[in-house]
Amino acid sequence: DGGITQSPKYLFRKEGQNVTLSCEQNLNHDAMYWYRQDPGQGLRLIYYSQIVNDFQKGDIAEGYSVSREKKESFPLTVTSAQKNPTAFYLCASSIDLETNYGYTFGSGTRLTVV
């Protein structure tokens, strides 16, 4: 079945460390997105990519980095510069950036800084 796979489901990080969250899709979607979810704040866009080797900052990109070397993969790195990284991170994809039939979401990664 086609879908989005995020791994790991739970991740613990020590302060000062970088950590990378994985997102893989087999839907042949061009566009991919990373959102952060905090209680009471809904989902906020971190980065998005509409094509391989291209990505754009979203509303809260500071302290994060991404890459899009393959169409299927859009990993997110949470760097030590991110001041409050503990959150639930959701990856999503859509057919492309201009055809809006909604997103397909992964099941998320819960990151906790210890």
Partner 1 sequence: AQKVTQAQTEISVVEKEDVTLDCVYETRDTTYYLFWYKQPPSGELVFLIRRNSFDEQNEISGRYSWNFQKSTSSFNFTITASQVVDSAVYFCALSDANAGGTSYGKLTFGQGTILTVHP
Q: Name the region of 102 (left: φ>0; alpha: ψ -120 to 50; beta: rest).
A: left
Site string for partner 1, 46-65 (x = CB under 8 A): --x-x-------x-------
CB of 23 to partner 1, least distance (A): 13
- Please identify which residue in 16, 40, 53, 83 interacts with partner 1, judged by CB under 8 A: 40
Q: Indicate if the alpha-carbon torsion angle 87, 110, 105, 34 is positive or negative.
A: positive
Q: Does 10 bind partner 1 (CB under 8 A)?
A: no
Q: Does 102 bind partner 1 (CB under 8 A)?
A: yes
Contact 68, 54 (CB under 8 A): yes
